[in-house]
A = this chain, B = another copy of it.
Amino acid sequence: MTSEYKTIDEANQAVIDKILAATPFLMDVVPAKSVIPLLDQQSGAKKVLLHAGPPIRWDEMTNPMQGSCIGAVLFEGWAADEDAALELLTSGKVAFEPCHHVGAVGPMGGITSANMPVLVVLNKTDGNYAYCTMNEGIGAVLRFGAYHRGVIERLRWMRDVLGPVLGQVLRGIEGGLNVNVLVTKAIAMGDEFHQRNIAASMCFLKEIAPRLVYADVPQDQLREVMRFLADTDQFFLNIMMAAAKAVMDAARTIQAGTIVTAMTRNGSNFGIRISGMGDTWFTAPVNTPDGLYFTGYSSADANPDMGDSAITETFGVGGMAMIAAPAVTRFVGSGGFGDALATSNEMRDICIARNPSFPVPTWDFQGICLGIDARKVVASRVTPVINTGIAHKQAGIGQIGAGTVHPPVECFDQAISAYAEQLGFTG
């Protein structure tokens, strides 16, 4: 070992100890540029957009992610219309950087720009922060590549009203909002925190609503924010993503072992990181989800998988915790209760342990999966299951279904080979 650990098992234990000890708190909502220096450009400097997944160039992006970029350019006022935005984006004057490289995560396209408000999660155990944009609701939304006027107007309202109001309420909570508590509550209420966040979103509303009505904000803004939060069943997803990122980034400080510390997709490639290989991405062409389609759509319309949201599965929820959310199994086309149980049991076999902080009543109170071991994936050829929304391959149409997707096993093969080589094994 190149580290203080005598064996891979010992290193892996140190990684999962970091996950177990993590205490993510939702502290604030602030403009992205105020916490992500890369986005805080000086006038004349190169513009930057963050995106989901491992690194990608503009010309490699699928249509929905490109659509999201157009939307972000219009939102930021970098261009006056779609044509001008496209010209800017293809000119090379906009740099693209993975969210993951700057402590952030983004759903679907994951496009994040300077003035978008982001959720601020602090892992108090290690003192590290993570960020994620807020959920825009359903229908035509930027994360699926929509960029028409209504989409941009909603983003501006989120910037001018939702973000500041929610930030004010959160700053008024002494010590912030304990995310683990919300996860523990909602996992007993059928959420798996990727496809289904309705209980957690209501738990969040229950915390925010009574504080919001005491906040010193204009009445019209209070009303709009209350309505938006009550209507947005997936609001908690982005909180869960930021929390999982904060936890897994703390785990990544242990630079040894074979625990998967990130899984993410950019519509072109799937990328993973393992603890022993630090910041290195191991990538392979991404799969297209299997699942159920909304009326009028089929797999022929589906975009290949994208988004940083698989950070939830990396942490042990989402598809890994399918049994927590039997109501989801039908929505993603994975059968009934027995199928959900079989899925979680299978996932348990590629993990090191289970996390007792988050007991699953429907799993006879076993904890969620803890620590995907890339060695076990390589040996068993069983890959993590990811619950996901399915985007139309054409920008702006949005979600057309929901299903499950698996990473290509090659990512894990590469990671283990590289780590073995780093440890001095050859051939």
Cβ of A230: which chain B residues have Cβ within 8 Å of it? Answer: 206-207, 209-210
Interface contact A210-B222, CB-CB below 8 Å: no
Q: Shortest beta-carbon distance, A172 to chain B, in Å? A: 14
Interface contact B205-A361, CB-CB below 8 Å: no
Q: A336 an interface residue at 8 Å Cβ cutoff?
A: yes
Chain A contact patch, size range: 20 to 34
Q: A46 an interface residue at 8 Å Cβ cutoff?
A: no
Q: A58 an interface residue at 8 Å Cβ cutoff?
A: no
Cβ of A5: which chain B residues have Cβ within 8 Å of it? Answer: none
A229 CA / B203 CA spacing, docked (Å): 13
> Main secondary structure on chain A at its contact with chain B?
helix
Q: CB within 8 Å of B: which of A199-232?
A: 199, 202-203, 205-207, 209-210, 213-214, 219, 222-223, 226-227, 230-231
Q: CB within 8 Å of B: which of A178-195?
A: 185, 188-190
Smallest Cβ-Cβ distance to A339: which chain B residue: B364
Interface string of A71-110 (1 = CB under 8 A from B): 0000000000000000000000000000000000000000
Copies of this chain: 2
Interface string of A108-123 (1 = CB under 8 A from B): 0000000000000000
Cβ of A127: which chain B residues have Cβ within 8 Å of it? Answer: none
Cβ of A317: which chain B residues have Cβ within 8 Å of it? Answer: none
Q: Shortest beta-carbon distance, A116 to chain B, in Å? A: 24
Q: A327 an interface residue at 8 Å Cβ cutoff?
A: yes
Which of B203, B205, B210, B363 is in CB contact (< 8 Å) with A337? B363
Which of B189, B209, B327, B365 is in CB contact (< 8 Å) with A209? B209
Given contact pairs A206-B230, A209-B209, A213-B219, enumerate 16 new A-B contacts (beta carbons under 8 Å).
Answer: A188-B190, A188-B327, A199-B202, A205-B205, A205-B206, A207-B230, A209-B230, A210-B226, A210-B230, A210-B231, A213-B222, A213-B226, A329-B361, A337-B362, A337-B363, A362-B362
* 24 A–B contacts from the bound complex (CB under 8 Å): A185-B198, A189-B190, A189-B198, A189-B199, A190-B361, A199-B202, A202-B203, A202-B205, A206-B230, A207-B230, A210-B223, A210-B230, A213-B222, A213-B223, A213-B227, A326-B362, A329-B361, A330-B365, A336-B365, A337-B361, A337-B362, A337-B363, A337-B364, A362-B362
